[in-house]
Structure 1
């Protein structure tokens, strides 16, 4: 389910990566090439981006398919940015949450997306609600599994944890509570990208002053590389590192930032 993408690079229109490439996220909404679960991503979409000298991102989200929104076509043509996160959604189950369930989720400088599903949702992860204050549960943006995953990640970020550790710890907790879950998480603050590959595809490209991390390549550039499953990826505009997340017991008790 779902496809997502984060890009850091020189300022350019949103459409340069989200719409125009031959296998862009726009096309992945109806014809993904490497999607292992689900076939059509038409249950909503969203794009978040950063403007110069403003650390808080803007978002545009809708409940319907990306191809059916002429307003987004105009935005994608003229809005320029050097950092974005975008996603097209294939809902795990039907809900009335509408665009509130569409990534990217946001908090402070962060944009977040979850490509995957929690096995046994919501019963399997009910014990993890103890990790969140009741007020955070009441503030959930939507009743879907991805919104809950974001709440867990955001709680750690607001508590001062480095982003890599926040994602790694969240994946560890969810995988333990709901074995078999697919937990590809994607996070950016406009200066870095942090992602996990856990149960679904994750690719990256660092070239020509641009870093792209995506569920699948948006073109046929041979420099795209697939991240191994059970790994954590951290990247800037010029550097990228991939480290193992599995087995969970090998994690250094999540006491140090993963870089």
Structure 2
């Protein structure tokens, strides 16, 4: 599995978010507090960030543990950004894809991470994969479940879906084909964040008008951190936050309300959350 985090806020060094807090993602690589599956996230890491005036993110990824990379310490100290997505990885299956299998994945202006696992991989998604154009399959960064899930999300984004809708529809499609999958997805375009809680922990810290952090687990003990209920879509920007229930395709229950309901305060729809 993994731990991941996305943050939108004032421009500051990467390390202020990823290293300095007492339970930062850096520490979660060997001592996570809320991880349900696996105990050590040492099979790679990555961070993606946005520079002012450039909508295409930069990435730094490695195949080894974050604590063993001396270059990352320098990077985290001097690179400043107001928008980032980072992850530390615990590989579900051993593979030869090295850093290519480490999140964040990237396409156009988006960064993406998957915390979880697709049950029955790869055979469970064989039929689903045929919905993608052959070129998309040939361009997969890695031969793992997360890379294919990202390809499904990216195809929807490029077709015009909003970030929240793209995640919600991909989770429904994958969950229908592979029951029992854990599908905590995290996506940003540098101005908004979309995430799903589906089988693992997800938390957020929101300071309206200033900062939004969405993470697998809190990086400190600030009492303003809030857990996200399982089977929920979160969409947010620096100002607004929306939580929407997601329907489990295998649950025998009454339909959930459509995306855009379940507001707290006056948050936007998934599309409105983009600034």
Specify if TM > 0.5.
Answer: yes
Q: Structure 1 residue runs of 4+, over 3 Å off?
A: 251-254, 256-259
CA displacement at 1:247 relative to structure 2: 4.0
SS in 2 for 1:232: strand
Instruction: Please give the residue correspondences for 1:122-201 in structure 2 after superposition, counting only pairs within 5 Å.
Output: 122-201=122-201
Q: Deviations over 1:22-71 (max 9, x none)?
A: 00000000000000000000000000000000000000000000000010
**Unmatched tracts of structure 1, length 5 or more:** none
SS in 2 for 1:154: helix
2:232 is equivalent to residue 243 of structure 1: no
Instruction: Please give the residue correspondences for 1:205-220 in structure 2 after superposition, counting only pairs within 5 Å.
Output: 205-207=205-207, 209-220=210-221
- Kept in 1, the 8 Å contact 2:106–2:112? The answer is yes
CA distance in structure 1 between the partners assigned to 2:258 and 2:142 by the alignment: 31
Aligned to 1:71: 71
CA distance in structure 1 between the partners assigned to 2:4 and 2:102 by the alignment: 11
Q: TM (normalized to structure 1)?
A: 0.97
**How many residues are treated as equivalent by the alignment?**
259
Aligned to 1:102: 102
SS in 2 for 1:250: coil
CA distance in structure 1 between the partners assigned to 2:84 and 2:241 by the alignment: 17
SS in 1 for 2:113: strand
CA distance in structure 1 between the partners assigned to 2:106 and 2:57 by the alignment: 8
Q: TM (normalized to structure 2)?
A: 0.91
Aligned to 1:92: 92
CA displacement at 1:207 relative to structure 2: 2.1
2:30 is equivalent to residue 30 of structure 1: yes
Q: Deviations over 1:163-207 (max 9, x none)?
A: 111000000000000000000000000000000000000000012
SS in 1 for 2:111: strand
- Kept in 1, the 8 Å contact 2:140–2:148? The answer is yes
Aligned to 2:116: 116
**Unmatched tracts of structure 2, length 5 or more:** 262-268
